[in-house]
Amino acid sequence: MILEKYFFNPHIARLSLSKRNFIMSLSDSVKTKIDNYVNGKKVVLFMKGTPQQPQCGFSAKIIAALDSVLPDYSTINVLEDEEIREGIKVYGNWPTIPQLYIDGELVGGCDIVLSMLNSGELHECLDLDPPDRTPPDITVTDEAAAKIKESMQGHEGIALHFQIDTNWNSQFNLAPAEGNEISTESNGILILMDLATAQRAQGAVIDWASTIQGEGLAIDLPQAPPPVKQMTVQELAKKLEAGNITLVDIRGDAERERAFIDGAEVLSREVMDKLEQMPKDSEIAFLCQHGNASQGAADFFRKKGFTKISNVAGGMQAWAQEIDPSLPAF
């Protein structure tokens, strides 16, 4: 197993034997179901939630890591199947979720996957070219540099880490260097980043700003995709009439049976695949009942590099109230 080399203790050394014994305790139906998942694709992630809406921070971090190197992989939402949620822990003798499998082998959880991403081992396992570890050009202004140096006084041996997550939220923290980080320097400030952050940070400007909320670092990220637009139902009606937008309804069957907009695509795995093959400047809007859940789907495609993504504000409820009063009230 890939994860074995990350641990050197007798328990893990006996992992293969332990796994065999644990699998025997699984019901045949659960074992077969997991076997089919694990061997169904090269890369399979057992996670909490979905790539569009992860339900735990560790799942979100692995999704961000995989998205940075892979266009396609399989995910299993363990929250939808209690047998799989408990069975996968026994199947791989690994007590936590998420769990990543590559070529039928258990890689491990969040910490291992992130370590492999930053070291280049994940690329090797996926038969990918080595990652580009070129340090990004980052500008730290004079005032920001002075404030950072001031805050780091008395923290000898501690490094400044910069992180940009998959939602393009950025943060700094002080921690020891791990050794696989990408480093860059500006205005006397050494900044350490993981691989995914380095790819997102090119051209970043770090300044010091005073606002009504107080003082703090202000970070401009020119590589960040445009934010999801909040489209009104009136705008949607005009675009549907003109035929120049793809509308995706993410609601469940029961909600769609009550009210549906003609021409809307129903979200499914097949529709997801179809959307991901469309040009990145395609105009796509996502619809749910009230305009909340669809934001997650819209963000997912925004992070995939699509530049004209919208969320329908107010969802189907607003459509029924403002566009088509003949529909049932929500």
The values of phi and psi at residue 10, to 5°, are: -60, -35
Answer for the pair 52, 296: CB distance below 8 angstroms, yes or no. Answer: yes
Question: Domain residue spans in the chain?
Answer: 2-125, 139-220, 229-322
Quote the CA–CA distance of 131 and 68 in Å, as a whole number: 10
Q: What is the pLDDT along the chain (330 residues), one digit of tens a residue?
A: 444 444 433 333 333 334 444 444 788 899 999 999 999 999 999 999 998 778 998 998 899 889 888 888 999 999 999 999 999 999 999 999 999 999 999 999 999 998 899 888 999 999 999 988 999 999 999 999 999 999 998 888 899 999 988 778 899 999 999 888 999 999 999 999 998 899 899 999 999 998 777 889 999 999 888 889 999 999 999 999 999 999 999 999 999 999 999 999 999 989 988 998 899 999 999 999 999 999 989 988 887 888 999 999 999 999 999 999 998 866
pLDDT for 9 equals 33
CATH of the domain spanning 2-125: 3.40.30.10
Other beta carbons less than 10 A from residue 191's beta carbon? 25
Q: What radius of gyration, in Å, describes the C-alpha atoms of the chain?
A: 23
Other beta carbons less than 10 A from residue 175's beta carbon? 11
pLDDT for 6 equals 43
Question: 3-class SS at 273?
Answer: helix
pLDDT for 330 equals 67
Is 229-322 assigned to CATH 3.40.250.10?
A: yes
Non-local (6+) Cβ contacts of 194 within 8 A are 114, 117, 118, 163, 180, 181, 182
CATH of the domain spanning 139-220: 2.60.300.12
Give the pairing of strands 229-231 and 308-312.
parallel
